[in-house]
Amino acid sequence: MHLRMVNKQHTLMLLPNMFGSLSSTIMSLMIGSYASSAVTFPGVKLIYDAGMKFHVIMWMWTGLAGLVFFNCFFNWPSEGFPTPDEVDYSKILTMHEVPSSKQKAVEERLSQKNGDVQHSREKLPNEPDAAPNTVPFRRSVFSPIFLWSLITMAMTQLRIIFFMGAMNKMLEFMVIHGEEHPPNMRVVEAENTVGFYASIFGTLQLLCLVTCPLIGYIMDWKMKECEEEKCASSGIVQRPKRDRKIQKVTNAMRAFILTNLLLIIFGICNLVDNLPLQILTFILHTMVRGFIHSCCGGLYAAVYPSNHFGTLTGLQSMISAVFALLQQPLFIVMVTHLHGNAYWINMGLLIISFTGFLLPGYLFFHCRNLLRELKAKDGQPASQEMQALKYIEANGFKPHRNGSASAEA
């Protein structure tokens, strides 16, 4: 399942770059479509119960997977879609727009000072392969954000996969309550109850497609304000109200907080010995399963270069999948030593789930550092101007302070 998730992410993560400020929403919608694909398994079970042989079903499934593979192979784009930060809009405007008289005057003035403007633009590192290569991949791997995300993803994957693997046994325990030799009527009741709730769990997987855009909306919150706006009357390009990187990291922090809160509520509901309450547990499980991948993908897209995104996502998926293999010994302990009672295992996993708040905690301090750097960067030109004024005054020249001078400024 994890390998399919990696392939799904690597083949579809180019497409959200075409949607600008809605890229995270489109990404979460794709992840939701992947996660909701589990709803097909109840249909497969119905086909199997109708009398079709299992190997025939699997060969049909293999044929559909082959069609998807060939579709990706022949329709793979020759060049990746650049992110909004990597698009060189100066080249687009130069190639497709006729410059006005003011633009020609500015271009001539710049050409006299810095040479040919067109030639200087070609040297800018705005190509998709130029700017990201300045950051070594090793630095991205050993960065605190990636390491904290590994802990969060590994813990969440273990929590989610253990529940999926042990769900039938936990539902059976809620009916039999650990009796070693239950009567036949109780055994039949347990089988019917497990089958009924398992079908509900499979059907609810379709909620991934409905709920995942919510976390994408949080990831795209106020991203429109990070774009430059051109005044219609004066034609002056106004500065963005918010910094794009800071807003992305802030949104990712909020998304991780919401996902971890849902994971904690899921763990609490899992401790309650009540069958109807487990439907709420199924819903929370479905939401967390889709949310956590959207959060991680949005965070990597915000912090790391685009040419590191696929490798980091694959590395994170592989490590979290290996860590999730611990669900097998936990399941053996539950069945043998705990006689089907998963209470203490769920309690331990609930306590471990609180480590998921370490990543948004670090992102909070990271945002503060980015804000501090941004303020220092904005204040640097003003300080240079004050130094120039002091230098002029020291050499016997006083700046004009009359009305006309201030008006010109």
pLDDT band for 216, please (50, 70, 90 cuts): confident
Residue of 312 and 400 predicted with greater confidence: 312
State pLDDT tens for residues 105-156. Answer: 555 554 554 444 444 444 344 444 444 447 888 898 999 999 999 999 999 9
pLDDT of 277 = 93
- The residues, any chain, with a CB within 8 Å of residue 291's CB and separated by 6 or more, are 211, 212, 215, 255, 258, 259, 262
CA distance 89 to 81: 14
Share of the chain above pLDDT 90, in %: 28
Q: Report the C-alpha gap between 127 and 106 in whole angstroms.
A: 24
Confidence of residue 100 (pLDDT cuts 50, 70, 90): low
Integer angstrom CA distances of residue 391 from 242, 377, 399, 402, 405 = 34, 22, 11, 20, 19
pLDDT category at 246 given cuts 50, 70, 90 is confident
Residue 406 confidence (pLDDT): 38
Asked if residues 148 and 359 have their Cβ atoms less than 8 Å apart, the reply is: yes
Residue 37 pLDDT > 80, yes or no?
Answer: no
Amino acid at 270: N
Lowest mean pLDDT among 43-47, 149-153, 318-322, 384-388: 384-388
Highest mean pLDDT among 14-18, 89-93, 188-192, 394-398: 188-192
CA distances from 286 to 18, 207, 225 (A): 28, 7, 32
Average pLDDT over residues 91-115: 50
pLDDT of res. 115: 46
Opening angle at CA 77, ends 75 and 83, nearest 5: 140
Torsion angle defined by CA atoms of residues 336, 339, 341 and 342, in that order, rounded to the nearest 10 degrees: 0
Q: Is 81 exposed, middle or buried (0-12, 13-18, 19+ CB in 10 A)?
A: middle
Confidence (pLDDT) at 308: 86
State how far Cα 259 lies from the chain centre: 11
Q: How far apart are the first and last CA of the chain?
A: 63
pLDDT for the residue numbered 124: 41
Q: Residue 3: pLDDT above 60?
A: no
Give the number of other Cβ atoms within 10 Å of residue 26's Cβ: 20
- Give the pLDDT confidence of 260-309 residue by residue, as tens digits: 999 999 999 999 999 999 999 999 999 998 888 888 888 888 888 878 88
* Three-state SS annotation for the chain: CHHHHHHHHHHHCCHHHHHHHHHHHHHHHHHHHHHHHHHHHHHHHHHHHCCCCHHHHHHHHHHHHHHHHHHHHHHCCCCCCCCHHHCCHHHHHHHHCCCCHHHHHHHHHHHHHHCCHHHHHHCCCCCCCCCHHHCCHHHHHCCHHHHHHHHHHHHHHHHHHHHHHHHHHHHHHHHHCCCCCCCHHHHHHHHHHHHHHHHHHHHHHHHHHHHHHHHHHHHCCCHHHHCCEECCCCCCEECCCCCHHHHHHHHHHHHHHHHHHHHHHHHHHHHCCCCCHHHHHHHHHHHHHHHHHHHHHHHHHHHCCHHHHHHHHHHHHHHHHHHHCCHHHHHHHHHHCCCCCCHHHHHHHHHHHHHHHHHHHHHHHHHHHHHHHHHHHHHHHHHHHHHHHHHHHHCCCCCCCCHHHHHHC
